[in-house]
Structure 1
Amino acid sequence: MKKIINKTSNVVWMNLKKIFSFFGFQINKNTEKSKIIELIKSLRPYQTNIELIRMGSVTDGGYLVPNDLEGIKTCFSPGVDTESGFEIDCLNRGIQVYMADNSVERPNIDASKYDYNFIKKHIGTTSNEDFITFTDWLRSSNIEPNEDLLMQMDIEGAEYFTLLSIDELLLKQFRVILLEFHFLERLWDKEFFALASSVFEKLLKTHTCVHLHPNNCSKIYKHKNVEIPPVLEFSFLRNDRITSKTFIDQFPNVLDKDNLNYEKPVVLPKNWYKH
């Protein structure tokens, strides 16, 4: 499963930190606390005029989605792996699905029952034999210039550079964006913070965060009394679809489920949604 890969990635990262420390190298924790707090505040989720529904698996691979899908004909879902419940839900709703992943031969979807598009390439910052940029992928697909789209992205840490490389006009075509961000505990590193904050700033120009859900593949990382889920699922809704909004002051949502049923539950820390 994708989340097992996530967990493995975090274990590798923790082991690397131990190795660096052994040889006298330290992982920098040089981001100012105030900057991290301000970034977290900017990502506080809102309850809007659009209710949330759950799509996909009841555990790993399921997302809380703004129920504003009418008129959306196409979903782009980079990162395939073996769980395709979300994509099947889209197909059952009449939404055409485009998928991309170079690590699998094909999605776990019955091709005799569903019509979908798949390319065996990773999404990245350049286009070549093994990779394709998100912008090139969209422009090579059969979509209309002003068509509203749906995005569900889980690409194991490659989301930062991928999102920065997407043309802003194309990004604005996505009415709903579902993203899993990885390695957020590294926000304490100044260089990583600069990268991640640029990505979030770009997203928040056109979209509002409407839900957060920590993946329980990793424990909450606490430093200087700031709690950060290393892997966190975000649901975004485009600003022009919102007519009213108030901050959400209670988590988890009744529709939230643990990603991994064999790991302890992880609850969204209050510093991500309360003053």
Structure 2
Amino acid sequence: MNTKKSAWNKVQNAIGLSEANAADLNDERFLYLKTRIAKLEKSFRFARIPESDIGINEMLKSVLPLMAPKDPVGMEFERVGRSYDGGYVMVKHDAKDRIAYSLGINRDVSWDLDIANRGYDIFQYDHTIDKLPQDHIGFHWKKLGITAANQRTKELSSLDEQMRQNGHEDCTDMLLKLDIEGHEWSVFAELPSETLSKFTQIAVECHGFDRIQKLPWFRTTKEALENLYKTHQVVHIHGNNNSQLRVLGGFPMPKTFELTLLRRDICDFTACSRVFPTELDQPNNPNFADHFLGNFNYF
């Protein structure tokens, strides 16, 4: 009877019945509810708590070293583009071909304008707009989005295909900027090193880290970062403060990062001496505090 009463207390708390209802609860109904509560307790016991989940912790341990910034020896940094959202901190280094690819435009071409004013031709892609917010003689825009080659549609093309159409197969020193709302992972996961190596510097907004526990997202992201790591080194990192900083698997993580990567043959790299955000960084949203990331070297 004591065992039944103890179990009844769990049932009572779970379904909100008063103690007076106990007398009206027949044994069959009681056993059903007791079994149901036991199943619920078991499922809750193993439910993932993202902040402390050991699986997420292991996932992040496998990708965070690929994102850890290093200092480029003998190089300086500058901000390219506007203040706040739309600008990127990049290494001061000219790409000999004077060609840049800008994937994802929306309402902002400040990065494109800064680069075009240095004498570059900017090849721009965005299928979500009907015209550019501002024109420039160096702009070449197509109403196309960019994704992985195996995901192409009438609205979406691949970077390799557009480079072929533009006659850039033999170029070896170009710039690349991407803000394509998650498609960056599939793009980088499939691009061969031969194509990636054509870009001296890559500035990219990386989305979706709140989905780290989703295995398809994790696998594609890990493959993309490993692919980039072969040819480029992360030299700058910034957390986009338009979303909250979260703890995932024990690590403080923004939902979205901005990464700058420099091709490995351009210079030597040493351990990072900077703390992020740096004085060149701007919060994406000036109404919120910027995300403090330290030096982002966990290992």
Q: Do the structures match in fold with TM over 0.5?
A: yes
Give the 4+ runs in structure 1 shifted more than 4 A: 26-30
Aligned residue pair count: 249
Counterpart in 1 of 2:140?
A: 117
Q: Which amino acid aligns with 1:95?
A: Y
The TM-score, its normalising length taken from structure 2, stands at 0.77
CA distance in 1, matches of 2:191, 2:223: 13
- Report the Cα distance in structure 1 between the residues aligned to 2:276 and 2:135, rounded to whole angstroms: 36
Matched, 1:43 2:67: yes
Question: For the residues of structure 2 that align with 1:130 and 1:224, how far apart are their CA atoms?
Answer: 37
Identity score, percent: 23
Query: Which secondary structure does the structure 1 equivalent of 2:83 belong to?
Result: coil
Any conservation in 1 of the 2:57–2:250 contact (CA below 8 Å)?
A: no
Counterpart for residue 266 of structure 1: 290
Q: Which has the larger radius of gyration?
A: 2
Partner amino acid, structure 1, of 2:142: I
Alpha-carbon distance between aligned partners in 2 of 1:79 and 1:27, rounded to the nearest angstrom:
34
SS at match of 1:201: helix
Query: How large is the Cα RMSD of the aligned pairs?
Result: 2.2
Match of 2:227 among 202, 216, 220: 202
Task: Classify 1:199/1:115 alpha carbon distance in 2 versus 1 (closer, same or farther; 3 Å).
Answer: same
CA 1:75/1:183 → structure 2, altered by over 3 Å: closer, same or farther? same
Show the 5 A alignment for 1:1-275.
Answer: 31-49=55-73, 50-111=75-136, 114-125=137-148, 126-143=151-168, 145-262=170-287, 264-270=288-294, 272-275=296-299
> For residues 95 and 223 of structure 1, what CA distance do their matches in structure 2 show?
40
Distance 1:130 1:32, change over 3 A: closer
The answer for unaligned runs of 5 or more in structure 2 is 1-42
Shift of 1:28: 9.2
Per-residue CA distance 1:70-109 (angstroms, 9 max, x = gap)? 5241000010111100000011000110001111112222
For 2:17, the equivalent position in structure 1 comes to none
Q: Is the 8 A contact 1:28 1:188 kept in 2?
A: no
Secondary structure, in 3 states, of the residue corresponding to 2:212?
A: helix
Stretches of structure 1 that go unaligned for 5 or more consecutive residues are: 1-23
Q: Deviations over 1:26-69 (max 9, x none)?
A: 88967352341242123210111221110001111100011112
